[in-house]
Structure 1
Amino acid sequence: MRYPVEHSERKALTIKQTAVLDFIQDYLVDHHRPPSMKVISEHFGWVSPNAAQCYLDALRRKGYLEPGPHIKLIGVQLILRRADAA
């Protein structure tokens, strides 16, 4: 189950950025915590976790992720709109 992401000045995502964001959202719902860089990299078949970091940086810059408390994981929180506020 995906939640709508809300940000007043968010920028358009590439197809791959959208796939990464969707994966993070699905993982959060299933595991109640964000995926690690390693999990993201393995899911997309990337050899280096640095590829995941590049996508996360882009999602942060575009307003879809913000720093979060999970330092050993990807350290992000999705910017979500509550369903009852819609």
Structure 2
Amino acid sequence: MTCPMPKREARGGAPRSIATERQVDVLSFIAGHIATHGYAPTTRDIAAHFGWASHTAAVVHMNALRTKRLVTWVPNIARSLQLTESGREFVAQRQARQPVEESR
């Protein structure tokens, strides 16, 4: 007996329900960094933001996001990390669901 595969997007993208909360947080950080600075964060930037001792944790999350077709990058090219169309839509939907925090 096999388990049914989760439904995929019409474009063949990854199912949206498979990203963990931490992966969603990393994806949102990447999107915010690109929007703020105009370029992608490094793995060390991601690790520093989340308080991880090693940048390897960032690499693991980035690889998972790439497998899920939410991000892409060119190997051996610095700061080539980009959100895919599915990744941008995922972040936009997540931001639309969160209430706007009031500034204090």
Same fold (TM > 0.5): yes
Higher alpha-carbon Rg: 2
Provide the alpha-carbon RMSD of the alignment.
2.4
* Runs of 4+ displaced beyond 6 Å: none
Classify 1:33/1:69 alpha carbon distance in 2 versus 1 (closer, same or farther; 3 Å).
farther
| Unaligned segments of structure 2, at least 5 residues | 1-10, 90-104
TM-superposition CA deviations, 1:21-42 (whole Å, max 9, x none)? 0000000000000001111000
Percent sequence identity over aligned pairs: 33
Classify 1:25/1:65 alpha carbon distance in 2 versus 1 (closer, same or farther; 3 Å).
same
| Unaligned segments of structure 1, at least 5 residues | 1-6
Matches of 2:57 and 2:75, distance apart in 1: 21
- Per the normalisation by structure 2, the TM-score is 0.64
The total of aligned residue pairs comes to: 76
- Please tell me whether residue 72 in structure 1 is matched to residue 72 in structure 2: no
**Local SS of the residue matching 1:20:** helix
**Local SS of the residue matching 2:85:** coil
Q: Which amino acid aligns with 2:22?
A: K
* Residue in 1 that maps onto 2:23: 17
TM-superposition CA deviations, 1:6-27 (whole Å, max 9, x none)? x632132000000000000000
1:68 Cα deviation after fit:
3.6
- Per the normalisation by structure 1, the TM-score is 0.76
Matches of 1:9 and 1:25, distance apart in 2: 18
1:76 Cα deviation after fit:
1.9
Matches of 2:21 and 2:75, distance apart in 1: 27
